[in-house]
Amino acid sequence: FIIAPTGEGKSVLANHIFRQLYENDIRIVIIDLGDSYRKLSLLYPHDTVYIKYQDGVGIGLNPFFVETIESISATKINELSTFVFKLWKRDRLPEEDEAVSLRKVITLYYKSIEKDHSFPQFYEFIDKNKDDIMKVLDLNSKFFDIEDFLHITSEFIGKGIYSFLFEAKTDDSFKIEGKKFIIFELDEIKDNQVLLTIMLHMISEAVQKVVWKDRSTKGVIFFDEFAKMLKFPSVLSSAEYFYQAARKQEAAIGIVLQSPSQLPKNDASNAIIDNTQVMYIMQNEKGYKEIIERLSLKEHDENQLGSIKYNFTGRIKYSEFLLKIGSESNIMRLELARKVLLAFQTEGKEYTEVLELYKETGDMESAIEKYSKIKTV
């Protein structure tokens, strides 16, 4: 967790952490809602892929795509069943009986159709064969209501409002293969519950298939502006799915919160808190009572939180935070060189002016160097 109210420097801290992870050969996947890592990604253009969602345009991910029928595994079928269920029910993960039914249908689809696999083709297969499917697979309509499925998911095919998501016949997941710094920028859909939920699952599929296929590779998945996503209950279940997937890999997950009270009090949130071993808690002028109670912090942690100081206006600018790893905690200070701060800032006049110089130079490091000299003079 990185926990801090708006304006306390959490984006600068996050950029600083990711730079260090990058330099230690750890792969980083960020789901962002605000271009907070644009400059950092531009510093490492050869190791970075920046995928920004644009209204009405798919991002080229096709979860149903397979190179060959023989390459389909039980894991792939299971992941697809969860994905398809999200298109259908959206606000939760499937119960086991529901997952079993979907796994049977998806398996039959791949046995019946040899090529050009996609969700629209899967939908058409079910629509054309719905009576036979229920009989052949001996499905209980309680766990797979085929008419309800076809009605709800029709939004994703033909002239449906979300059909653009699945226009690609191939899969562009290969674009993220071998990259160390992968950013999915979803700011344009932050207010669309359906699109945000589905995109998170499509991203999870791509990350598992391409990024984590080498289990010897360490990695971090990070949700920035997670609080904005949490206004939709379905997003929490999608995040829960990321947590489940990460446990199978050599991966860690991080999220930004303004306060842990933004996490609803349910089993999914409690599991996220219980599985979080590293916490960065920054200055909070409103106090730390909610943080202490929700995260079960000790008296020692509480005393340290009260000692946090920061200075954003002096000659030497710095922020402080409580770093808690497991049961150990201490106050740390983040003090950055001028050029490093310019690289990590995510808003304000200097941020805009550096990006303008980048347009001229085509190189972020050169833009920062040039801006630093101009302002020094």
Which stretches within 89-171 are classed as H helix?
Answer: 96-112, 119-136, 146-153
For residue 353, the surrounding DSSP H or E stretch is: helix 349-361
Instruction: End-to-end CA distance of the chain: give it in Å, rounded.
Output: 40
Token couple for 329: 């905690």
Q: Rg of the chain's alpha carbons, rounded to an integer? A: 23
The widest CA-to-CA distance across the chain, in whole angstroms, is 79
| Distances from the Cα of 363 to the Cα of 49, 76, 375, angstroms | 16, 40, 18
pLDDT given at position 194? 83
pLDDT per position in the chain (377 positions), as tens?
A: 999 888 888 889 999 999 999 999 888 889 988 888 888 889 998 898 888 888 888 777 788 888 788 878 888 898 889 889 988 987 777 889 999 999 999 999 999 998 888 899 999 999 999 989 999 999 888 999 999 999 999 999 988 998 888 876 666 777 777 788 889 898 888 888 888 888 887 787 777 776 776 777 788 889 887 777 777 777 777 777 777 777 777 788 899 888 888 888 888 788 888 888 999 999 988 889 999 999 999 999 999 999 998 888 888 888 999 999 999 999 999 999 889 988 888 888 888 899 999 999 999 999 999 998 886 54
pLDDT value, residue 168: 67
Q: How many CB atoms lie within 10 A of CB 328?
A: 8
Burial of 138 (0-12, 13-18, 19+ CB in 10 A): exposed
Question: pLDDT value at position 377?
Answer: 44
Distance CA 363, CA 377 (A): 21
Provide the pLDDT for residue 298.
92
| 208 closest CA partner among 246, 178, 235 | 246
* Per-residue pLDDT at 238: 73
